[in-house]
């Protein structure tokens, strides 16, 4: 009952250029008993704030005329005690930090839930009501001092909680690589405490060394993958025990850090990265932008960040390890398939290596080359479904047996599909037996409709097949095989790719022996 009475006395202003969001928020809050006004842009909202008394403002971040961040500044300039909640989709770290610094009290993320909206509004209204009661029972001078102190503490806590939650959300991106995650953590750490630079170092337990995984800022003389010995000159032992360390200009250890080349700084904070109390790395943040020393609040924020970051790092490393093991298993499966036939051993590796050379000759991007490196090795994995009686048959295959062999590209794609491979990688596996004239399999694609990287594999795969001994024929000489590629340009093969292959073939490093 008390909450309903309090809600009825409270006025809320919702500012959003989206009519559906404005109306929905108004209806939700009205259901809880709040008096709600709405405005469809920042300028109209600011005008209402200056003309009426509100207990809380909910404002969208992205709006025409006057965006949410600028509106927040102007509202705080007019009434610094008025709570402002930002409405946003997925909050970017930069936006979250800027909003918190300008005095935002909290975030409501889209799509919002009824419970989330009510919880945020109820909390801020109660806090504002409590502040009003304290103001009424104190002298004016003391009241102002108390209100200012409470608001500072409240805003500080809200900033910390909201910012850290936003940071955690921004790092929680599925399948983010460990490299990207390390760089994001370093960026966030510097912005969080207004520092010039930061680095992440991982412990190599075998060599008792630290390896730099990400680094940012001036005054650093180390690069990614640099190695830093763990010795007595830097108090690493304390950090390795799980204790954080603040090193300032007056601390003798700073000189030792500079000598060891970690960073030359006036002030540094070393934060251990831990999983279940086991230290696996260090977050090193250095040099406040304002020239100040790091304080306890900075350390507190960095410790909170390190706890969130450690969980994300653990997940990223675990994912990459599992993925690497899976790919290794698949490559072993391909090797086992090829081992069934002594004529095709190492076929996939040769095709991949030569396809990479052709891709480089054709100025393919690094992403395209990486795709060939990955999918090229697996292009024949579907042959696991073809029996030895067909695969190793010395005589001519029957029409029925040919159809069985022709299923291997589709089977291969089905094996790899659940692994979340990129479309370009799956396309190589499925389409490396298509023909330029449309008479290939499994889909009968023709010309440029055949994926480009699959066309490269097709040419190299055919060359390797022709220059390899088979149960039913001897290998062609490499020169003869190249002539066959040229002869089949425009029917079986893409002429541009064959031309690139010929340039590779003409180089001195090209292996010209039959297999």
- What the block records as the tokens of 136 is 């009424």
pLDDT of residue 472: 67
Predicted TM-score of the model (pTM):
0.47
The phi and psi torsions of 448 (rounded to 5 degrees) equal -70, -5
Rounded-to-integer distance, Cα 454 and Cα 466, Å: 18
Encoded tokens for 312: 């994300």
CATH value of 340-506 in 3.40.50.1460, 1.10.3720.10, 2.70.70.10, 1.10.3210.10? 1.10.3210.10
For residue 196, give the DSSP letter. E
Q: Tell me the C-alpha distance between 306 and 288, whole Å.
A: 18
Tally of CB atoms within 10 A around 135? 16
Query: Where along the chain do its domains lie?
Result: 2-166, 178-319, 340-506
Residue in the structure block whose two tokens are 């060599």:
207
Q: Which residues of the chain have pLDDT under 50?
A: 1-3, 250-261
Relative to beta strand 106-109, strand 35-39 is unpaired
Q: Could you please report the per-residue DSSP string of 206-233? A: TTTEEEEEEEESTT----TT-EEE--TT
What does 445-513 look like in DSSP terms, one character per residue?
--GGGS-HHHHHHHHHHHHHHHTS-BTTBPPPPHHHHHHHHHHTBTTTB-HHHHHHHHHHHHSTTS---
- Structure confidence at residue 498 (pLDDT): 96
Evaluate whether 454 touches 434 at the Cβ level (below 8 Å): yes
Between CA 215 and CA 263 the distance in angstroms is 10
Give the pLDDT confidence score for residue 265 in this predicted structure: 64
- Tell me how crowded residue 111 is: count the other CB atoms within 10 A of its CB: 8
Q: What is the CATH number of domain 178-319?
A: 3.30.450.40
Residue whose pair of structure tokens reads 């209806």 in the numeric block: 27
Question: What does the pLDDT read at residue 355?
Answer: 95
Query: Any long-range contacts for 295-298 (C-beta under 8 Å, 24+ apart)?
Result: 297/156, 298/193, 298/269
Collapsing DSSP states into helix, strand and coil, what is residue 42?
helix
Question: What is the phi/psi pair of residue 81, to 5°?
Answer: -95, -10
Report the pLDDT value the prediction gives residue 344, as an integer from 0 to 100: 58
**CA neighbours closer than 13 Å in the CB half-sphere of residue 167:** 30
What are phi and psi for residue 334, nearest 5 degrees?
-60, -45
> Which pLDDT score, from 0 to 100, does residue 259 have?
34
Q: How many CB atoms lie within 10 A of CB 77?
A: 9
β-strands 267-275, 245-248: how paired? antiparallel
pLDDT of residue 2: 41
CA pair distance 489, 105, nearest whole angstrom = 67
Q: Look at residue 423 in the predicted model and tell me its pLDDT.
A: 83
CATH of 2-166, one of 3.40.109.10, 3.40.50.2300, 1.10.3720.10, 3.30.420.40: 3.40.50.2300
């Amino acid at each position: 009952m008390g909450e309903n009475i309090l809600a009825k006395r409270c006025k809320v202003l919702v500012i959003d250029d989206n009519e559906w969001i404005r109306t929905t928020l108004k209806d939700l809050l009205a259901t809880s008993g709040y008096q709600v006004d709405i405005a469809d842009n920042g300028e109209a909202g600011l005008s209402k704030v200056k003309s009426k008394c509100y207990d809380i403002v909910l404002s969208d971040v992205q709006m025409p005329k006057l965006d949410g961040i600028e509106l927040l500044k102007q509202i705080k300039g007019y009434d610094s005690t008025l709570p402002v909640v930002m409405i946003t989709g997925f909050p970017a770290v930069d936006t979250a930090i800027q909003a918190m610094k300008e005095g935002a009290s909290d975030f409501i993320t889209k799509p919002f839930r009824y419970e989330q909206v009510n919880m945020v509004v109820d909390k801020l209204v109660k806090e504002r009501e409590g502040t009003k009661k304290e103001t009424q029972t104190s002298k004016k001078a003391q009241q102002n001092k108390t209100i200012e102190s409470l608001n500072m503490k409240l805003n500080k806590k809200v900033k910390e909680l909201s910012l850290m939650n936003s940071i955690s959300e921004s790092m929680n991106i599925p399948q983010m690589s460990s490299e990207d995650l390390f760089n994001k953590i370093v960026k966030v750490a510097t912005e969080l405490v207004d520092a010039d630079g930061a680095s992440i170092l991982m412990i190599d337990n075998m060599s008792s060394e630290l390896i730099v995984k990400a680094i940012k800022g001036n005054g650093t003389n180390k690069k990614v993958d640099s190695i830093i010995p763990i010795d007595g000159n830097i108090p690493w032992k304390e950090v390795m025990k799980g204790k954080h360390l603040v090193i300032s200009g007056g601390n003798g250890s700073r000189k030792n850090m500079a000598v060891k080349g970690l960073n030359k700084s006036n002030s540094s904070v070393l934060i251990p990265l831990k999983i279940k109390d086991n230290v696996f790395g260090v977050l090193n943040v250095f040099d406040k932008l304002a020239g100040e020393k790091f304080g306890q609040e900075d350390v507190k924020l960095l410790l909170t960040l390190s706890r969130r970051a450690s969980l994300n790092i653990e997940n990223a490393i675990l994912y990459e390890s599992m993925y690497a093991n899976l790919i290794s298993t698949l490559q072993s499966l391909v090797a086992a398939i090829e081992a069934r036939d002594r004529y095709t051993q190492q076929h996939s590796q040769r095709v991949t290596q030569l396809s990479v050379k052709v891709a480089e000759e054709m100025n393919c991007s690094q992403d395209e080359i990486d795709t060939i490196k990955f999918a090229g090795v697996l292009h024949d994995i579907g042959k696991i479904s073809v029996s030895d009686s067909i695969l190793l048959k010395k005589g001519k295959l029957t029409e029925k047996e040919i159809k069985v062999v022709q299923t291997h590209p589709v089977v291969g794609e089905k094996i790899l599909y659940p692994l979340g491979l990129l479309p370009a990688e799956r396309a190589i596996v499925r389409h490396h037996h298509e023909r330029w004239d449309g008479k290939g399999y499994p889909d009968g694609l023709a010309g440029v409709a055949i994926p480009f990287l699959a066309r490269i594999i097709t040419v190299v795969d055919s060359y390797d097949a022709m220059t390899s001994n088979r149960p039913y024929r001897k290998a062609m000489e490499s020169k003869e095989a190249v002539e066959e590629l040229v002869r089949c340009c425009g029917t079986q093969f893409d002429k541009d790719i064959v031309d690139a292959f010929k340039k590779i073939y003409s180089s001195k490093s090209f292996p010209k022996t039959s297999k």
